[in-house]
Amino acid sequence: MSALAARRRTLPGFGLTMGLTLSWLSIIILIPLAGLFLKSLELSPEQFWNILSSRRTLNALRVSFGLAFAAASVNLVMGSIIVWALVRYRFPGRRIFDAIVDVPFALPTAVAGVALTALFAEKGWLGAPLAALGIKVAFTPVGIFVAMIFIGIPFVVRTVQPVLQDLDPEIEEAAGSLGASRWQTIIRVILPSLAPALLTGLALAFARAVGEYGSVIFIAGNLPNVSEIAPLLIVIRLSEFRYADATAIAVVMLVVSFVIIFAVNRLQRWARSRVPAR
């Protein structure tokens, strides 16, 4: 009976695809990560702790995670507004703007870094007027923040866009005819419906910003303890042949990222359980 049922499975190829999936994910993701952990085991717990609690490491982690979170939050707000304009209104050049959103996806990060640096340098188009106001962007943490915003924006836009497109404008009309103000409609109806997608976009933009290297190192100035990001510190340690130090920082980044992504994932699930599929 069960053999018959197995043979009659409507979608054949389960064994093959499942096997390929597991081996591929192991080779590409799991084994390198395990290697990372193993390498960090060469350190005694005390050494591990000393590396992590050094001022430079802590500052680098703080810069990376703190600015990544700030940048992802800005992207969440601005990305939502951009999505709203792109989805809800028809204006000349809409398609062009829609395509421009993808530029940070496609641009080599080093190119982005050079472009941003040139723009925000003290003599650059934006850097000069900002410098006149006393704001320095290039070669400061603000520069890192700007670069992280730049590379994160498409993640928010592209995750929220399809969900907003699916959101029936009739529910806004319904809210309005029930007496809700525009603001109440946004807070009580639109945002809750978009919440799972917004959280996904936030998580993706954050993850991307934490891991960003290419565009940031050009604009950051890379001053230890001030504008040095954790990935750069890893590279520096590697170039000093301090492999264990590098892996220790990497492991911490991995664990923290994992915890944050996991937390966002739970949050997302919770939000989605309140917005069941149609």
Partner 1 sequence: MKDKTPVTIEVRNLVKTFGSFKALDGVDLKVDGGELVALLGPSGSGKTTLLRIVAGLDWPDSGEVFINGEDALAQGARERHVGFVFQHYALFRHMTVFENVAFGLRVQPRAVRKDEAGIRARVKELLDLVQLDWLSDRYPSQLSGGQRQRIALARALAIEPRILLLDEPFGALDAKVRKELRKWLRSLHHEINVTSIFVTHDQEEALEVANRVVVMDKGRIEQIGSPDDVYDNPATAFVHGFIGESIVLPVEVANGAVRLGDRPLDLAAGGLAPGASRMFVRRHDMLVGPPGSGAFEGAVRHVRNFGPVQRAEVALSGGETIEIDAPRDRELRAGDTIGLDPRRYRIFAG
Spatial separation of the C-alpha atoms in residues 30 and 124, rounded to whole Å: 44
Q: Is 90 in the site for partner 1 (CB under 8 A)?
A: no
Tokens coding 274: 């309140």
Nearer CB in complex with partner 1: 91/241: 91
Nearer CB in complex with partner 1: 64/193: 193
Q: Is 132 in the site for partner 1 (CB under 8 A)?
A: no
Instruction: Give the SS3 label for residue 98.
Output: helix
Nearer CB in complex with partner 1: 114/164: 164
Nearer CB in complex with partner 1: 9/278: 278
Residue ranges with strand state E in the chain: none
Minimum Å gap between C-beta 84 and partner 1 is: 18
The DSSP-derived string for 41-96 is: TTS-HHHHHHHHHSHHHHHHHHHHHHHHHHHHHHHHHHHHHHHHHHHH---TTHHH
The site for partner 1, by CB under 8 A, has a size of 23
The single residue listed with the structure tokens 């007027």 is 129
φ, ψ at 167 (rounded to 5°): -75, 120
Q: What is the DSSP letter of 9?
A: -
Q: Is 102 in the site for partner 1 (CB under 8 A)?
A: no
Candidates 62, 88, 94, 188; binder of partner 1 (CB under 8 A) is 188
Cβ–Cβ < 8 Å for 139, 220: yes
Q: Is 178 in the site for partner 1 (CB under 8 A)?
A: yes
Spatial CA neighbour of 112 closest among 104, 122, 102, 124 = 104
Stretch that binds partner 1, among 16-24, 47-55, 231-239, 268-276 (CB under 8 A): 268-276
Candidates 192, 211, 214, 221; binder of partner 1 (CB under 8 A) is 192
Contacts of 256 (CB under 8 A, 6+ apart): 61, 65
Minimum Å gap between C-beta 89 and partner 1 is: 18
Interaction with partner 1 in 152-171: which residues (CB under 8 A)? Answer: 168, 170-171
Minimum Å gap between C-beta 163 and partner 1 is: 11
Nearer CB in complex with partner 1: 196/201: 196
- Give me the residues that bind partner 1 (CB under 8 A), please: 168, 170-171, 173-181, 184, 188-189, 192-193, 195, 274-278
